[in-house]
Chains A and B, each alone.
Chain A
Amino acid sequence: MEEQKDYRMSFFKPTTEFSRINRNLVIVLILIWGICVFGFQILLRIMEKPTPEKTLITFEKVWDNVKSGNASSDEKVQFADCILSVLGKSTLAAKPEKRAVLNNALSWAVYDLMSGDSLRSNFIGEISAFEKQRAELTDLKDPAYVNAKAEIIQKTAPLLGLEEYSLKARLIPLELRSAGMEVLQTENKDKLHGIMSLYLTHNQSVLTDTVFLGFPFHYFYTAVFLLILFVALCWIYSFMIDRVHKRLGNFDKTKTANS
């Protein structure tokens, strides 16, 4: 009663029946909101484990031999295949320095898989010409460019055991670099394993691997469900407050009070 006279109020010490009900409702809704938003992400964090893609496991199997120069042809094919898997990732587009390392690795593997010095030297010339053609290109449908690309695919795809129409085969002409093709440069060797690990390891758990309505579950939860929850919480609050006002006989006269 004393507080009522002094008009001291706080969220935790409501002064009217309405503000007491309102406070309780706010606490319940804030708790639901906080647990659903932050609690789920914390759970996701606790459950996740860095999980390598199959490609990384293959890469690690052949990497030591490739690095030491003792890789067999099969191992080089697997190595090139792994590099193409990362080069196909569009997140790499904004990282030209990492792409350059991978380009060198792929170019070297393809070059090394070719037999015969003349074939190799012709190939370097061919790639160099293609690079020049690409730099000056104005129309991606230019027949000369399309033919040159197809020729490179025809030559390289069988070397890497790829079907000509596969996605990886189509990447090859765009990712080969003529400069420094003959060797896998030492500084690139040092960086390669780190880049492969970075792009081929992901935080996964049962929450990310379960598919719900076509989505990875955690993605559905965050991108779809949370938004539904927010609208529902707002609706519930407005509905409940209207009911409380009705029950307490409050008449909302804001407009007349302030205009």
Chain B
Amino acid sequence: MKKTIFYFLLFTTFLLEAANSAVKLEGGFKVGPAIIMIGMLVIFVVVGILNSAKDTSDYYAAGRSISRVGSGMAIASNWMSAASFLGMAALMYGSGYHGLAFVVGWTGGYVLLLILMAGQIRKYGKYTAPDFIGDRYYSTGLRIAAAIVTIIISLAYCVGQFGGIGLMFKWVMGMNFFWSTVIGSCVVLAYTMISGMLGVTKNMIIQYIIIIISFLIPLFILLFKFDYFWLLPPIGYGAAVSDVVNGIPAPAVSDMVNVIGHDFAILPSPEYAMPWDASTGQTFFQWMAIVFSLMLGTAGLPHVIQRFYIVPRARDARWSVVWGLFFICLLYWCSPIFSVFGKILSSNPEIGTLAPDAIVIYTAQLGNINPLIVGFLAAGAVSAAFSTVAGLLVAGSSAFSHDLYFKVFRPDSTPKQQMMMARIATVLMGVIVTVMSMMELALIAQLVALAFSFAAVTIFPLFLLGIWWSGSNKQGAIAGLTTGIIVTIVALTYFIAGKYGVALPAQEFISFWLGPWYFAWIGAPLAIFMNIIVSLMTEETPLEIRKFLVEKVHS
């Protein structure tokens, strides 16, 4: 007993000592947060090993044995990436009300996903999104195209996540971006390869719990500390938003200061909360287009759709969306709190310019929250990025091994060979993402939004029409997919040209109306329109597919 108390005291002293090293805003190795993060990573790998995939059904769809609440947590964890954990607060911190477009877009899309797709997708009974597309549109070419699209979406999405992992490792370990990204990718790859979807899903449940607890604790503390209603943070921070709009004079709160000693005060800043404020450089059209694109993208993301295959029944698929959205909203309701406190606590110009993508961490630090809690928060951010990356790698590698290797190139391959190919694909994707993320192309949330727009113009129309209209045929699907890809290429070409100062014809016009984060506002309706027109002009969908839709999917 004495020995236990001694070791406990020794460990506590060590942690408190370690905590002091986390006070710096930037750089330096932070012992306490590092221990928390390493411990968390070890747990992920162990859970992955304990739940390793035994066959292809385990690998692709977790043996179809996950409960509704568990699947809801996995949906939430899979969904809540670095973009949700770090990126949303960053956008609201930088551009105020405009950032709320991401909150609304990333949650509202679940309504579409549920009422238009979830149950029907599960009833269709395929393993992956390309599997559905190849089967529904009776086309190997479309299966290959959908698999490639899935891999590209997974890659684009993963790059944003690795940016988040890099930032957090840099903050905790004091490492440079290169090494933090390399280490992060090795850990994710290790357990994704070992466990596949089953281990990933079990990990996701644990990760959700870590994400939500680590995110909420600092918020309760901040609200309590700065005298706001703290019992219900999503409501309690309302007064803080109004305070930013109207200003907080220094003398009235002279006993409250940030970690540097600046008063908890701010000059009136209505631009933080007022809609599409000119000083943020964002417009009403962009707000609406982002919301619309993100919503359609949500309903078209392969790694999200794939989650409906892991529940036993269609009913479970529906309820897992309800649970998933609720769990997601727990974080999204609270995300603006970091941005509003970040605004106030960093309002003194002495703080300098903070990296927006790390504002969640900086806010907790500036609020003088215990460094170990800040470390736990950083671990939560890494957890958010890891859970999403793992889901994306499974979706991407499944597209490669199941939809390309097994269904197209080697139909006679054994399950063992397929598993091997899935693991090789995971490693390949991991390497590509690591290299791409080192280029630091854009803000985390922006990179993710790009993946959403791409999914909205390619996958979403194929699923929507494939489920809801038996008349949509192979030729229509090819036309729709081609339209979506053309719109994407145009939008990206103009974006990249603009970035490197090259002026293409109508550069300003196209760059504004086909922004890379929201080109789906026009691309998705165009793809749907083309699909319908070409389908009407060509041969009808085969009878057995129409029969399957009526008797199995919509019964």
Contacts and interface: CB of A to CB of B under 8 A. Distances in A.
A2 interface: no
A11 B465 CA distance: 9
A204 B270 CA distance: 9
B135 interface: no
A183 interface: no
Question: Sorted from nearest, which 7 A-B pairs have the closest CB atoms?
Answer: A258-B125, A214-B238, A88-B267, A215-B238, A214-B239, A7-B546, A202-B274
A85 to B, nearest CB: 6
19 contacts: A7-B547, A8-B470, A8-B471, A10-B469, A33-B112, A37-B291, A44-B275, A48-B275, A166-B251, A199-B271, A202-B277, A208-B275, A215-B238, A219-B238, A224-B333, A230-B111, A234-B322, A237-B115, A255-B312
Contact of A171 (B96, B238, B349): B349
A222 B269 contact: no
B103 to A, nearest CB: 6
Contacts of B270: 53, 202, 204
Nearest to B92: A223
A49 to B, nearest CB: 11
A93 interface: yes
B275 A90 contact: no
Interface string A164-205: 011110110011000000000000000000000011011110
B326 interface: yes
A74 B111 CA distance: 58
Contacts of B238: 212-215, 219-220
A93 to B, nearest CB: 5
B30 interface: no
B271 A202 contact: yes
A62 interface: no
Most buried by A among B469, B471, B547: B469
Most buried by A among B111, B352, B550: B111
A16 interface: yes
B471 to A, nearest CB: 7
B318 A238 contact: yes
Interface of B is mostly: helix
A16 B552 CA distance: 11
Contact of B269 (A6, A91, A174, A201): A91
Interface of A: 4, 6-11, 14-16, 18-19, 22, 25-26, 29-30, 33, 37-38, 41, 44-45, 48, 53, 84-85, 87-91, 93-94, 140-141, 163, 165-168, 170-171, 174-175, 198-199, 201-204, 208, 211-216, 218-220, 222-224, 226-228, 230-231, 233-235, 237-238, 241-242, 245, 250, 252-255, 257-259
Interface residues of B, number: 94
B94 interface: yes
Given A10-B468, A223-B100, A255-B64, A89 B271 contact: yes
A148 to B, nearest CB: 13
Given A90-B343, A203-B274, A222-B100, A165 B110 contact: no
Contact of A219 (B97, B469, B555): B97
A223 B108 contact: no
A26 B116 contact: yes
Contact of A211 (B242, B277, B318): B242
Given A9-B470, A141-B260, A219-B238, 19 more contacts: A6-B546, A9-B554, A18-B554, A19-B555, A37-B104, A38-B288, A41-B287, A45-B284, A88-B267, A91-B96, A93-B349, A174-B348, A203-B275, A211-B242, A218-B275, A230-B111, A234-B110, A254-B312, A254-B315
Interface of A is mostly: helix
A16 B349 contact: no
Given A8-B471, A214-B242, A89 B269 contact: yes
B538 interface: no
Nearest to A245: B315
A7 B549 contact: yes
Interface in B251-305: 251, 254, 260-261, 263, 265-280, 284, 287-288, 291-292
Interface string B193-236: 00000000000000000000000000000000000010000111
A19 B115 CA distance: 12
Given A8-B470, A91-B279, A259-B64, A170 B250 contact: yes
B268 A140 contact: no
Contact of B261 (A14, A29, A53, A141): A141
